[in-house]
């Protein structure tokens, strides 16, 4: 927002409001402005890595803006304190706005209009809160400039048994500066099973059946599609962010707790990207389609080749197979939510961006949803089960570090058992 527009937005606050209803002091800033971020990812057809970075920047800005006014917790990126008496909802909205207008400039007019509307509905400390939020958001963008997310790098196509065949882009994310964890590389797992091993042969046999497009199964296909989340969707990190927003709304979390939840969640998802891309780059493992079509080249007498085999998903997959990114994001998302609420068995219903017919699914727990997400990649013929399990473990490990070290109370007890407080 330019200075004139920003001043005009703040001027609205002092104008008389002619309405039959009272002015609302709650604009649900966390949900509204995350909605803008989700839509920006969809419109730009952003990658999962770029999406996770955007979500983290928006939610770190919101958290630091709110926490800078309330105090009491460690900051994520921008330390406080903010102005005494600043309006926290105004700060949250303005912080998110400041990030989005810089990262998604084509939609600046829409963001300006919404911010002006939001600020006009608030009262008490609005000007100081909004100015503080803008300062925080701009600081987040500045701090993340040069974090390694650009320029785009690629790994060239490979050759030979066990090697992913296509070139793929986005490999610079293996070296991106993390938001919260000390060293994402420590979460890169050991290698996938050797091509000549029985564990590899077992996973090969499983996906050859469950992920085979020539063996129709409506339920397996629907589960794959539900979690497929291709370009043009909010991507897997966006789905876990949306699940968090839904559960937070169901429990009527106050603003400060909403902001803390989405910051913990989005930082974990963003840092999971770094470990996931690092793993894919390091091992460069072939996808099931190539593996099954060339099963006679892997040196394993148990793997039966099928040159005509095609994945239920209809595509080979655009990045190396090990590990499954959908699984790593889901492991992180489920672990943060279970840790934050100090309970995994929280039922919820959800509709993903790629849900067939827009039909909702219900889950008894966060881990149940994560487990289904991971298995969906096997059903689609996109990943082996060992890649699913390794991905889930990567995400859980990243989330565990974030929960243990970030956004904790400055004094007094910071934990209750295993749950961050």
| Arithmetic mean of pLDDT, 369-393 | 98
Q: Which pLDDT tens digit goes with each residue over 264-315?
A: 999 999 999 999 999 999 999 999 999 999 999 999 999 999 999 999 999 9
Cα 83 to Cα 124: distance, rounded to the nearest angstrom: 12
Question: pLDDT band at 83, cuts 50/70/90?
Answer: very high
CATH for 3-144 (3.40.50.2300, 3.40.50.1220, 3.90.1260.10, 1.20.144.10): 1.20.144.10
User: Is it true that the peptide bond before 13 is cis, omega within 30 degrees of 0?
Assistant: no
- Tell me which architecture the domain covering 154-420 has in CATH: Orthogonal Bundle (1.10)
Cα 254 to Cα 94: distance, rounded to the nearest angstrom: 18
| Arithmetic mean of pLDDT, 392-398 | 98
SS3 sequence, 221-243?
HHHHHHCCCCECECHHHHHHHHH
Question: pLDDT band at 92, cuts 50/70/90?
Answer: very high
Cα 59 to Cα 30: distance, rounded to the nearest angstrom: 8
| Arithmetic mean of pLDDT, 219-235 | 98
Q: Which pLDDT tens digit goes with each residue over 4-42?
A: 344 444 444 333 332 233 334 579 999 999 999 999 999
DSSP single-letter state for residue 184: G
Query: Contact at 8 Å (CB) between 91 and 129?
Result: yes
Place of tokens 């913990």: 264
Structure tokens at 160: 């030979």
Q: What is the pLDDT of residue 345?
A: 97
| Secondary structure (DSSP) of 114-149 | HHHHHHHT--SSHHHHHHHHHHHHHHHHHHHTTSS-
Q: Report the mean per-residue pLDDT for the chain.
A: 93
The percentage of residues in the chain with a pLDDT greater than 90, rounded to a whole number, is 90
Q: Given phi > 0 = left and psi -120 to 50 = alpha, else beta, which region is 2?
A: beta
Please check the confidence at residue 338 and state whether its pLDDT lies above 70.
yes
Q: What is the pLDDT of residue 418?
A: 56
Cα 160 to Cα 402: distance, rounded to the nearest angstrom: 38
The predicted model scores a pTM of 0.93
List the chain domain ranges: 3-144, 154-420
């Amino acid at each position: 927002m330019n200075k004139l527009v920003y001043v005009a937005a703040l001027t609205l606050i002092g104008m008389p409001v002619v309405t039959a209803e009272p002015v609302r002091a709650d604009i649900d800033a966390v949900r509204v402005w995350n909605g803008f971020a989700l839509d920006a990812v969809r419109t730009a057809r952003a990658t999962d890595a770029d999406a996770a970075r955007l979500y983290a920047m928006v939610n770190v800005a919101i958290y630091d803006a709110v926490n800078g006014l309330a105090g009491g917790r460690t900051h994520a990126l921008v330390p406080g304190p903010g102005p005494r008496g600043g309006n926290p909802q105004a700060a949250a909205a303005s912080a998110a706005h400041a990030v989005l207008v810089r990262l998604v400039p084509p939609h600046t007019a829409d963001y300006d209009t919404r911010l002006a509307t939001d600020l006009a509905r608030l009262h008490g400390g609005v000007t100081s809160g909004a100015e503080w939020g803008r300062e925080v958001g701009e600081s987040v963008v500045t701090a993340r400039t040069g974090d390694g997310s650009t320029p785009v790098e690629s790994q060239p196509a490979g050759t030979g048994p066990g090697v992913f065949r296509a070139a793929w882009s986005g490999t610079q994310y293996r070296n991106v500066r993390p938001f919260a964890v000390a060293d994402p590389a420590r979460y890169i797992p050991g290698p996938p099973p050797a091509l000549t091993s029985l564990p590899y042969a077992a996973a090969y046999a499983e996906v050859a059946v469950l992920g085979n497009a020539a063996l129709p199964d409506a339920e397996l296909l629907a589960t794959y599609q539900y979690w497929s989340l291709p370009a043009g969707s909010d991507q897997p990190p966006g789905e876990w962010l949306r699940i968090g927003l839904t559960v937070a709304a169901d429990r009527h979390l106050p603003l400060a707790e909403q902001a803390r939840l989405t910051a913990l969640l989005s930082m974990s998802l963003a840092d999971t990207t770094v470990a996931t891309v690092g793993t894919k780059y390091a091992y460069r493992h072939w996808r099931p389609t190539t593996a099954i079509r060339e099963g006679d080249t892997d040196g394993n007498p148990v793997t039966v080749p099928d040159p005509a085999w095609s994945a239920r998903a209809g595509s080979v997959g655009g990045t190396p197979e090990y590990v499954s990114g959908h699984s790593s994001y889901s492991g992180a998302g489920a672990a943060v939510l279970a840790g934050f609420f100090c309970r995994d068995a929280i039922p919820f219903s959800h509709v993903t961006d790629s849900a067939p017919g827009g039909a909702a699914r219900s889950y008894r727990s966060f881990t149940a949803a994560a487990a289904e997400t991971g298995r969906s990649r096997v059903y689609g013929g996109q990943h082996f089960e060992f890649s699913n399990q390794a991905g889930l473990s990567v995400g859980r490990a990243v989330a565990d570090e974030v929960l243990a070290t970030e956004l904790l109370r400055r004094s007094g007890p910071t934990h209750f058992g295993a749950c961050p407080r």
